[in-house]
């Protein structure tokens, strides 16, 4: 369960050495788009040595590797030998690329007796969005991250903060993820200097069912964590619902604050409190 995941360019020592300090629920070390093609070896070596040698590490480590059809793919994947990688973020995820990744992970895990590495699928192509349910139900996949910039580029549309142009893709990610009990993660907001735009974007994503969001700058984390955490109002409502449930033991449905409460709302209240507990929000 995450609220925020921060991208850190794999060839940036200044950011890497602070990876455990940033208030992100997970850190994504990026070997793909933020690294120049001539610096891939340098970035891979730097992230590898950080994971193996640094005494302090983030709570959760995600590694964005290069796509399966590049010469970097297998070398990137070897970083799981550090046993410090919790998730592989697979770019341009699709049924075929997941299959290739799965085979290679199985090979590494058997050969080197590694713990199972989970996968976050980056849905950033039209094909990913079409295949989304098959991606979501893959046994390795624990979450789907919508990559709206690549998607918009492929469709040849402009991105807006309101996000009407990605509403279909967002909904596909949310519905497939929810149906498969995995995490729907929203695309990053590229406005790193405008908190109001970020806040609006987060609220829209949350209202559509996204449960977490990626950040491309540490300054975005506070707003993302705030919006994707249960609010005081939600916590108060959830506590009230569960207290009313106790008072109405044996009843399938009961009234709370003038509204009928039954099983779906009780489950919602329980999820809110579970999330609040996880992130130590009282």
Partner 1 sequence: MKVGTAGSKDSNDCFVTVKESDKTDIIIDSIVAAFFYDQIKATVEETLKEMNVNNVIVVVEDKGALDYTIKSRLISAIKRMK
42 binds partner 1 (CB under 8 A): yes
Residues that contact partner 1, how many (by CB under 8 A): 14
When asked if residue 49 is in the footprint of partner 1 (CB under 8 A), the reply is yes
Binding to partner 1 by residue 48, rule CB under 8 A? yes
Nearest distance in Å: CB 12, partner 1: 8
Shortest Cβ 36–partner 1 spacing (Å): 11
| DSSP string computed for the chain | --SEEEEEETT-HHHHTTTTTS--SEEEEESSTTS-GGGHHHHHHHHHHHHHH-S---SSEEEEPPPTTSTTHHHHHGGGGGS---EEEETT--HHHHHHHHHHHHHHHHHHTPPPPEEEEEE-SHHHHHTHHHHHTSTTEEEEEE-HHHHHHHHT----SS-GGGHHHHHHHHHHHHHTT-EEEEPPP--TT-HHHHHHHHHHHHHTT--EEEESSGGGHHHHHHHTSPPHHHHHHHHHHHHHHHHTTT-SSEEETTEEE-HHHHHHHHHHHHHHHHTT--
Determine if 50 is a binding residue for partner 1 (CB under 8 A): yes
Does residue 17 belong to the site contacting partner 1 (CB under 8 A)? yes
Residue span binding partner 1 (CB under 8 A) among the ranges 49-57, 77-85, 118-126, 232-240: 49-57
Residue 52 sits in the site that holds partner 1 (CB under 8 A): yes
Q: Interface with partner 1 includes 53 (CB under 8 A)?
A: yes
Least CB distance from residue 141 to partner 1, whole Å? 31
> Is 84 a binder of partner 1 (CB under 8 A)?
no
Among 36, 45, 69, 243, binds partner 1 (CB under 8 A): 45
Contact indicator for 44, 35 with CB cutoff of 8 Å: no
Candidates 54, 70, 191, 239; binder of partner 1 (CB under 8 A) is: 54
From 38-46, 124-132, 177-185, 203-211, give the range in contact with partner 1 by CB under 8 A.
38-46
57 belongs to the binding site for partner 1 (CB under 8 A) = no
Which positions lie near partner 1, rule CB under 8 A? 13-14, 16-17, 41-42, 45-46, 48-50, 52-54
């Amino acid at each position: 369960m995450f609220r925020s995941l921060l991208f850190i360019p794999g060839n940036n020592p200044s950011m890497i050495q602070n990876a455990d300090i940033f208030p992100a629920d997970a850190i994504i070390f990026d070997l793909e788009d933020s690294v120049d093609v001539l610096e891939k070896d340098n970035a891979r070596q730097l992230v590898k040595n950080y994971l193996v040698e640094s005494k302090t590490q983030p709570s959760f480590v995600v590694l964005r590797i290069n796509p399966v059809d590049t010469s970097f793919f297998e070398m990137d994947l070897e970083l799981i030998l550090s046993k410090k990688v919790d998730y592989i973020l697979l770019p341009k995820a699709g049924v075929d690329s997941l299959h290739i990744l799965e085979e290679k992970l199985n090979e590494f895990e058997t050969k080197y007796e590694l713990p199972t590495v989970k996968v976050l699928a980056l849905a950033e192509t039209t094909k990913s969005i079409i295949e989304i349910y098959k991606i979501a139900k893959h046994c390795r996949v624990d979450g789907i991250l919508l990559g709206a910039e690549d998607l918009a580029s492929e469709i040849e549309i402009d991105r807006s903060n309101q996000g009407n142009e990605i509403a279909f893709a967002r909904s596909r990610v949310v519905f497939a993820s929810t149906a498969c009990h995995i995490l729907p993660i929203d695309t990053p907001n590229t406005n790193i200097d405008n908190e109001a735009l970020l806040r609006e974007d987060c609220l829209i994503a949350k209202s559509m069912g996204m449960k977490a969001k990626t950040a491309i700058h540490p300054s975005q984390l506070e707003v993302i964590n705030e919006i994707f955490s249960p609010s005081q109002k939600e916590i108060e409502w959830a506590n009230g619902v569960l207290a009313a449930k106790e008072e109405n033991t044996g009843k399938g449905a009961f009234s709370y604050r003038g509204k009928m409460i039954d099983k779906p709302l009780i489950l919602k209240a329980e999820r809110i409190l579970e999330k609040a507990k996880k992130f130590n929000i009282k």
